[in-house]
Amino acid sequence: MKPSRALAALHTLLGIRQPVFLWGPPGVGKSQLVAQAAAQRGMALRDIRAVLLDPVDLRGLPRIDATGRTSWCAPTFLPGPQDEAEGVLFLDELNAAPPLVQTACYQLILDRRIGEYALPEGWCVVAAGNRESDRAVVYRLPTALANRMVHLDVEADAEDWLHWAEASDIRPEILSFLRFRPRLLHVREADEAAFASPRSWAFASRILEAAPDAALAGDLLRGTLGEGVSAELLGYLERRASLPTPEEILDTPQAARVPEDPADLCAVCDLLAGCASPENMDAVTEYAERLPAEYGVLLMRDAVRRDPRLVEGLPFARWAQRHAEALL
């Protein structure tokens, strides 16, 4: 399922304290989904990397009490009575943990306790891991453990990621490139260590934000996205530099060049939508009228998504009236 649907499923399962396992390829955003669901529900989050644990780590250390009997001191990474009333105990990379560690999780996941420790009532267990088909280092999840959880398979989705990226200050050139080439959001070549994923596209955005010179940027992007995807992105960035600037379009909307190539049209729409404001909407709508219909709609939808005030002005109202059928 796509991430937005997985997020809705998480809300349902957290509400009933049902343990859940998120499956998906590396970099698809499983950990972020768990963090987002917890934050939206006002729940604390304990992120535990199961692969780093030994079986004894979960039970804790023994001590001798005043009566001479042995009791167990639970580790501080497990929530206790002094912690928040509600939270998520997130066992990330659970199926990458050795079988003995997975066995130690059986009782914690189903019975909400391990030895003398009991998980507080308001807390829920969520686990995540990669699939064997992802060529990740994993152990087969024992059926006795797997049967204790609901399983959700998360896949990368360009529409979902772009919606997140717009709110997360991802570079506009990456947004416009992936609108044109959404299938490149998650691509892995068999023999390459670097590959395109939602996570690595965020890395690529940070690299471009640092503004390295062209040669170094190429090397860094190849080491982030892989050879093939980075070549397409670099070619797109070169062409983007030759497009009319937003300032040129806003100054002369009736004379500014309208590109013919679909990738260039996507780039121009993204550039212009990013600087649209109530003060310059007359010029924006004039230029939108000169674009092919589907790109005019793309431009206006992106502009309104970034600044909802635009729908209140007369220029948008006039444009929307003329293109009502395309907006439906």
pLDDT in tens, 276-326: 999 999 999 999 999 998 899 989 988 888 889 998 889 888 888 887 776
pLDDT in tens, 195-220: 999 999 999 999 999 989 989 999 99
User: Is residue 49 within a helix (H) or strand (E), and if so which, with residue range?
Assistant: strand 44-49
DSSP 8-state assignment for residue 28? S
How many Å apart are CA 233 and CA 236, to the nearest integer?
5
Rg (CA), the chain: 25
pLDDT in tens, 25-82: 888 999 999 999 999 999 999 998 888 888 788 877 888 888 888 887 888 888 988 8
What pLDDT is recorded for position 7?
A: 95
What pLDDT is recorded for position 30?
A: 93
pLDDT in tens, 81-104: 888 889 999 999 888 888 888 888
pLDDT in tens, 122-152: 999 999 998 877 776 777 888 888 888 999 9
What pLDDT is recorded for position 275?
A: 87
Confirm if 187 and 231 have CB atoms less than 8 A apart. no
Q: How confident is residue 230, by pLDDT bands cut at 50, 70 and 90? A: very high
Close Cβ partners of 290 (under 8 Å, ≥ 6 residues apart): 253, 254, 258
What pLDDT is recorded for position 88?
A: 95
Q: How confident is residue 328, by pLDDT bands cut at 50, 70 and 90? A: low
Going from the C-alpha of 81 to that of each of 19, 58, 107, 121, the distances in angstroms are 20, 17, 19, 10
How many Å apart are CA 117 and CA 6, to the nearest integer?
30
How many Å apart are CA 195 and CA 177, to the nearest integer?
16
pLDDT in tens, 233-278: 998 888 887 888 889 999 999 999 998 888 888 888 888 888 899 9
What pLDDT is recorded for position 203?
A: 96
Which structural domains are found in the chain, ordered by start? Answer: 3-153 (3.40.50.300), 156-242 (no CATH), 243-328 (no CATH)
What pLDDT is recorded for position 214?
A: 87
Close Cβ partners of 328 (under 8 Å, ≥ 6 residues apart): none
